Amino acid sequence: SDILNLQSPASLGPSTFPGSDRPMVEAHGVRKTFGSLEVLSGIDMTVSRGEVACILGPSGSGKSTFLRCINHLEKLSAGRILVDGELIGYREKNGRLHEMKKPQLALQRREIGMVFQRFNLFPHLTVLGNIIQAPMLIRGEKREGAVRRAHALLDMVDLRQKADAYPQQLSGGQQQRVAIARALAMNPKLMLFDEPTSALDPELVGEVLAVMKRLANEGMTMIVVTHEMGFAREVADRVIFMDGGVVVEEGPPAEVLDRPRHERTRTFLRRVR
């Protein structure tokens, strides 16, 4: 779609664009320790272009930490992560990894949109102001273009009338949809969602999931940490169950959710249902 500027619509086939058959995300042996606590114990994961992967798992299993590693909000203790073939957070020199300098890291991060549980919008800016800020300040876009695109994004999240509202005048569900539009304004090639609906009143969950589903249908590559089983079942191409810092099992939603192979997965699913 021209709103999202996604590079390789599935309809055009994998050979149409250079590099379009390489995975969007590759994690190899990712480990993360905080002091003596090992939170990620060797995560391997591949997410294809256009794929929607839902990560499920009990609290404390390392889901948020793993998402934060993908855009290098956390340094890795071992392993590596590539996004669209590019090593994240490090450059390789003489076979060794060196941490990237801030400006270089910023260039990588702006390709990766992230939406958190709490919709951290800037309270002193209007909805429109929130959405155009990063495109203007970070990408150097002209105001006119940024505003035009912001309106298109507000259309997509069903908030076209709220451009001039301030965050505190919006419901939680509306704020979260603005947060999604704000992330999309940077034209990311990958979207990370960390429990985007778990801070919402139950009646507001559906409107946010609907926007995420629309985004998935547009071909966005998405990694979604969620406890919304209905969403995982309907929208995910793949469900990944994490526990204790490892991927316990993964597969199509119907397999993992209806015929889990591991006892740990079964126990978790019994609890969330």
- Return the residue of 64, 71, 174, 175 that touches Mg ion, per CB under 5 A: 64
For 218-238, the DSSP string reads: TT-EEEEE---HHHHHHH-SE
What is the nearest approach in angstroms of ligand ADP to the Cβ of residue 61?
A: 4
For 109-147, the DSSP string reads: HTTEEEE-SS----TTS-HHHHHHHHHHHTS---HHHHH
What is the nearest approach in angstroms of ligand ADP to the Cβ of residue 224?
A: 13
Tell me which of ligand ADP, Mg ion, none is bound by residue 226, counting a contact when its beta carbon lies within the kind-specific cut-off of 5 to 8 angstroms: none
**CA 254, 196, 135, 76 torsion-angle sign:** negative
Identify which of 112, 7, 23, 53 has the alpha carbon closest to the alpha carbon of residue 247.
53
What is the nearest approach in angstroms of Mg ion to the Cβ of residue 193?
A: 11
Site for ligand ADP in 22-51 (CB under 6 A): 34, 37, 39
**Residue 96 or 271 with smaller CB distance to Mg ion:** 271
Find the part of the chain contacting ligand ADP (CB under 6 A) among 57-65, 109-117, 119-127, 209-217: 57-65
Backbone angles phi, psi at 131, to 5 degrees: -80, -35
Tell me which of ligand ADP, Mg ion, none is bound by residue 17, counting a contact when its beta carbon lies within the kind-specific cut-off of 5 to 8 angstroms: none
First to last CA, the chain: 36
60 touches ligand ADP (CB under 6 A): yes
How many residues are recorded in the chain? Answer: 273
Tell me which of Mg ion, ligand ADP, none is bound by residue 57, counting a contact when its beta carbon lies within the kind-specific cut-off of 5 to 8 angstroms: ligand ADP
- Return the residue of 61, 71, 176, 221 that touches ligand ADP, per CB under 6 A: 61
Calculate the alpha carbon distances from 173 to 48, 93, 109, 159, 200 in Å: 29, 45, 25, 11, 7
The structure tokens 């990063």 sit at 134
**Residue 58 or 251 with smaller CB distance to Mg ion:** 58
- Return the residue of 63, 109, 182, 238 that touches ligand ADP, per CB under 6 A: 63
65 touches Mg ion (CB under 5 A): no
What is the nearest approach in angstroms of ligand ADP to the Cβ of residue 22?
A: 27
Beta strands in the chain (DSSP E): 25-34, 37-47, 52-56, 78-83, 86-87, 90-93, 96-99, 112-115, 190-194, 221-225, 238-243, 246-251
**Residue 39 or 240 with smaller CB distance to ligand ADP:** 39
Site string for ligand ADP, 65-104 (x = CB under 6 A): x---------------------------------------
Binding site for ligand ADP (CB under 6 A): 34, 37, 39, 57, 59-65
